């Protein structure tokens, strides 16, 4: 690997000979996860809506010395397109050992202002699309050969005010994860989810100024008093795909700095001292802080 490759905490070659499909692989958490998997020897199939972003990530992986990645432009809300995309990845690589069901999207809005069109767009992306990709990965390969799936949800606990459409969809994806873990276990397929909280990812820059201002204030209510890193999410996904998680299925790992545990009776406080146990981890050699946080 290149000297400027991903600095993973996992052993070199962990995924050598394995193929992993990463949806939403052209940016943010998907890009970071694709890099870490490739650094550990996986051949990555990158799927997403914009082929130029996928090709950029594939070029980055090649420059870091990773196995050649393939690019598969797709709208995961399109059932036929998803079926064709999974088939194309299998035709290219001959197997599909893992799926990182990362693609998604939403926009901030109170419930009373969300149109049915807006609601359907978010639910189809964050729930129906994820279901379609997982179903086809199972049907076309994993049912006969086994595999591991990690679904991306979010900090949905106690509701998701301001993004109720996404909260409902992500909650549905959690239930889907639990159901698939049961139904597909006999095929040797493990299905888990990760629930990131407030992560310093490029997606933060897509929000309007009022939402950015709110996000900047949120750091103070995180018990660990910071945003998470893309690498911290990626490391959790990699663990769940790995052999070390062979007895873990149907569960969801929170990556949120303890936000759902915060209580008004116990205000968040600045750290009393430095601690390696909660210091940010960032192994992604191409990571950069979102502009909105650099302006803070």
pLDDT in tens, 255-274: 999 999 998 898 888 877 77
Q: Are 58 and 26 in contact (CB under 8 A)?
A: no
Rounded CA gap, 120 and 123, in Å?
A: 5
Model confidence at 293: pLDDT above 80: no
CA 30 to chain centre: 6
Rounded CA gap, 246 and 147, in Å?
A: 10
E strands of the chain, at which residues? 19-23, 43-48, 70-73, 98-101, 147-152, 189-196, 252-255
- Dump pLDDT digits (tens) for 196-230: 999 988 777 777 777 777 778 888 889 999 999 99
Model confidence at 3: pLDDT above 50: no
Give DSSP secondary structure letters for 84-106.
HHHHHHHHHHS---EEEE-----
- Dump pLDDT digits (tens) for 65-76: 999 999 999 999
How many Cβ atoms sit within 10 Å of the Cβ of residue 9? 11
Give DSSP secondary structure letters for 32-43.
HHHHHHHHTT-E
Q: Count of residues for the chain?
A: 296
Rounded CA gap, 135 and 267, in Å?
A: 43
Question: What domains lie within the chain, and their CATH numbers?
Answer: 19-261+286-294 (3.40.50.720)
Q: Are 251 and 192 in contact (CB under 8 A)?
A: yes
Three-state DSSP state, 71 = strand
Three-state DSSP state, 83 = helix
E strands of 133-291, at which residues? 147-152, 189-196, 252-255
The confidence score (pLDDT) of residue 287 equals: 87
The confidence score (pLDDT) of residue 112 equals: 96
Handedness of CA 16, 19, 25, 30 (dihedral sign): negative
Nearest to 142 by CA among 185, 97, 192, 84: 97
Nearest to 147 by CA among 179, 102, 93, 187: 187
Rounded CA gap, 282 and 55, in Å?
A: 24
Rounded CA gap, 95 and 80, in Å?
A: 20
pTM as predicted: 0.93
The confidence score (pLDDT) of residue 217 equals: 82
226/289: higher pLDDT: 226
């Amino acid at each position: 690997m290149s000297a400027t490759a991903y600095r993973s905490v996992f052993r070199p070659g962990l995924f050598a000979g394995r193929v992993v499909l990463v949806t939403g692989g052209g940016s943010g958490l998907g890009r970071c996860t694709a890099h870490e998997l490739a650094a550990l020897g996986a051949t990555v199939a990158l799927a997403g809506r914009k082929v130029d972003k996928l090709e950029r990530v594939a070029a980055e992986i090649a420059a870091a010395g990773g196995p050649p990645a393939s690019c598969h432009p797709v709208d995961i809300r399109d059932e036929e397109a998803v079926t064709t995309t999974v088939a194309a990845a299998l035709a290219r690589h001959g197997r599909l050992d893992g799926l990182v069901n990362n693609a998604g999207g939403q926009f901030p809005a109170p419930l009373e202002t969300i149109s049915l069109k807006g609601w359907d767009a978010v639910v189809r992306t964050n729930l129906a699309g994820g279901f379609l990709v997982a179903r086809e990965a199972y049907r076309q390969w994993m049912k006969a050969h086994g595999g591991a799936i990690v679904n991306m949800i979010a900090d949905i606990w106690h509701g998701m005010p301001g993004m109720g459409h996404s909260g409902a969809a992500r909650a549905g994806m959690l239930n889907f994860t639990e159901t698939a873990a049961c139904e597909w276990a006999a095929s040797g397929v493990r299905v888990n989810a990760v629930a990131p909280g407030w992560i310093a990812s490029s997606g933060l820059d897509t929000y309007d100024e009022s939402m950015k201002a709110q996000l900047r204030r949120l750091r103070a209510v995180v018990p660990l008093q910071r945003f998470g890193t893309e690498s911290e999410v990626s490391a959790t996904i990699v663990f769940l795909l790995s052999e070390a998680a062979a007895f873990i299925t149907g569960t969801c790992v929170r990556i949120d700095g303890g936000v759902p545990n915060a209580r008004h009776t116990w205000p968040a406080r600045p750290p009393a001292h430095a601690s390696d146990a909660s210091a940010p981890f960032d192994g992604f050699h191409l990571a950069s802080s979102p502009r909105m946080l650099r302006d803070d």
